[in-house]
Structure formats: structure tokens, C-alpha cells
A = this chain, B = another copy of it.
Amino acid sequence: MTEATRDIEALIDLMARLPGLGPRSARRAVLHLIKKRGAVMMPLAKAMQQVAETARECLNCGNIGTSDICDICRSEKRATGEICVVEDVADLWAMERGQVFHGRYHVLGGTLSALDAIGPEELRIPKLVDRVRAEGIAEVILALNATVDGQTTAHYIAEALEGMGVSVTSLAQGVPIGGELDYLDDGTISAALKARKAF
């Protein structure tokens, strides 16, 4: 294998490490990029370099930005009394797309997991407790995934915040908008029935 092929192979190997891409789709993506060297590949390489050099985690909440304290934590437009706890930055982005929550966030960076040796320290939970104390938080909204790990972590956080005079809430569970009962799992239906409300 020569220099040329080696460079391309190396690029394919790196691309194949991305979530959602395997060796085959990485090859297709790289060929596509090479065909559009000027229009796509160069800008993509530059954008990637740019973000790789500037992106960092917010020291306060764990969100991704370009400074030590992220835009949301610094923004004066955001309500200061509420913290929404999410597992991951992707979940923060999902909440922001909803455009309903106007407080601040706390990104755990995962869920508690005995198997993977992920404890509270790895998840910025002590930092959350500090923030609740220091920022005069009135409500902590647990927006964790409705999975076993997510709910375990939610329970742990609720216990950690007990007696601090903060109201701990979690997202409602029920039928998703546009959802058809026939396609929902039993757990969702039973949760929605238990949490039924006056029409």
C-alpha cells in the first residue's frame, strides 16, 4: 500500500469510529468527500479543526461552549431559580429545541452505573448540590431518560437534594403527542393511566 492509499485508509478508519458509521459507510462518506473536496471536505476539515480547538465544557453546568462558562449560564435572560438536570449535551439541545424551558441546565454526562464504575463523582452530582446551595435554586427539574439507569440516577439525585428546601420535579410520563395507543408499550399506557387528569 502506498502513501496515497494509506492516507485515505487512515481517514476511513477514523471516520468509521464515529457513532452511526461503520467501515462500509465510512468508505462511502470518504469517497463522497473526496469527490466534493472543495465544496464539502475542506470546509468540514476546517470546521472540525475550529471546534476541536475551541470547544470546552462549561465549568458550571457541563454544557459545551467556547468559554469556561457557557452562554446559557452567563445569559441574563435565563431564569436563575430553576435547574434542569439532563444526562447529556444532546438532551440539553433537545430541551432547547422545545423552547419551553427558560432556566439553566446541569449536564450529568451519563447515568450512575455500578457495572461501568460510574459513581456520583463522575456525574457532577456534588457540583449540582453545590449549585443548588450557592445559586438559591427553588426547583430542580429532573429531565433524565425514562430508562432504568436514568430513573435510578433521578432517585439518587432526589435523595441527595432532600432537606435542602428545593422542590424536585421530573418530566411527566404518558402518551407522546401523536402517539397511537396500539403502538405504545404497556409501561407507558399504565403510567399514562395512573397519571390521568380531569379533561
Contacts and interface: CB of A to CB of B under 8 A. Distances in A.
Interface of A: 2-5, 7-8, 10-11, 14-15, 17-21, 25, 27-34, 37, 40-52, 54-55, 64-67, 70-71, 88-90, 93
A55 B11 CA distance: 12
Nearest to A3: B66
Given A42-B52, A45-B49, A20 B20 contact: yes
A37 B18 CA distance: 12
Dominant secondary structure at the A interface: helix
Contacts of A3: 66
Given A4-B65, A40-B14, A52-B42, A29 B21 contact: yes
B4 A47 contact: no
Contacts of A25: 19-20
A40 B64 contact: no
